Amino acid sequence: MLTRREFVAAQERALTFFRKAGIVVTEEEKTRIEVADFGLGDLANTGLEILTYVNSERCCAKELVLFPRQTCPEHRHPAISPSNPGKEETFRCRWGEVYLYVPGEPAAAPMAKPPAGRESAYTVWHEIILRQGNQYTLAPNTLHWFQAGDMGAVVSEFSTRSVDEADVFTDADIRRMPQVK
């Protein structure tokens, strides 16, 4: 669980990354930056800062900030209903470098390292390196995780409807929806 001080500090730090990426954030949007520590209380290693622009019944657009070497843990977006096969998403790197892992041939020498003590919760190792201007699209229900490089990263996410509370994480200790005390 995050303290209010940690939450506000992470929001402020995320704004510095948006500026580095040349992304203008309105005063109203600044208040909506989500800080996700995934319930682990280790934001520096496992976390994500998220600004959602739109999340309608048909589409979603977000900006994701990852601080240096911060990791979004392994998860998938399962089917929600017979008419909703799960979230399809495209990641486009705006600034920095991101190491994205999906099923496939494992990287011989992966650039990312899972957070200490949580290594067993990272099972897919096919590496896709996203640098500024690179993008990658994931099909629904695809297991994936990602980590920023040494400078951190800003990534735009374009997807079908996002139902974050339905995400399935490999690590049973993960709690997707943040709590702030």
* Rounded Cα–Cα distance for residues 52 and 156 (Å): 10
Is the pLDDT assigned to residue 177 strictly greater than 70?
no
Domain that holds residue 41: 4-169
Share of the chain above pLDDT 70, in %: 97
| DSSP three-state, residue 19 | helix
| Distance, CA of 14 to chain centre | 13
Q: Is position 180 within any domain?
A: no
Share of the chain above pLDDT 90, in %: 92
Q: Is position 56 within any domain?
A: yes
pTM above the 0.85 mark?
yes
Can you give the pLDDT at residue 28? 97
Range 18-34 average pLDDT: 97
CA 105, 42, 130: angle at the middle one, nearest 5? 35
Q: CB-hemisphere CA count at 13 Å for 73?
A: 28
Q: Is position 176 within any domain?
A: no
Say how many domains are in the chain: 1
Q: Is position 90 within any domain?
A: yes
Mean pLDDT of the chain: 95
List pLDDT tens digits, range 81-132.
998 999 999 999 999 999 999 999 999 999 999 999 999 999 999 999 999 9
Q: Is position 63 within any domain?
A: yes
CATH code, domain with 8:
2.60.120.10
Q: Is position 177 within any domain?
A: no
Can you give the pLDDT at residue 178? 65
Is the pLDDT assigned to residue 135 strictly greater than 80?
yes
Backbone angles phi, psi at 69, to 5 degrees: 65, 10
Do residues 62 and 157 make contact, with C-beta atoms less than 8 angstroms apart? yes
List pLDDT tens digits, range 145-171.
999 999 999 999 999 999 988 999 999
Is the pLDDT assigned to residue 179 strictly greater than 70?
no
* Rounded Cα–Cα distance for residues 127 and 57 (Å): 31
Can you give the pLDDT at residue 164? 85
Is the pLDDT assigned to residue 1 strictly greater than 90?
no
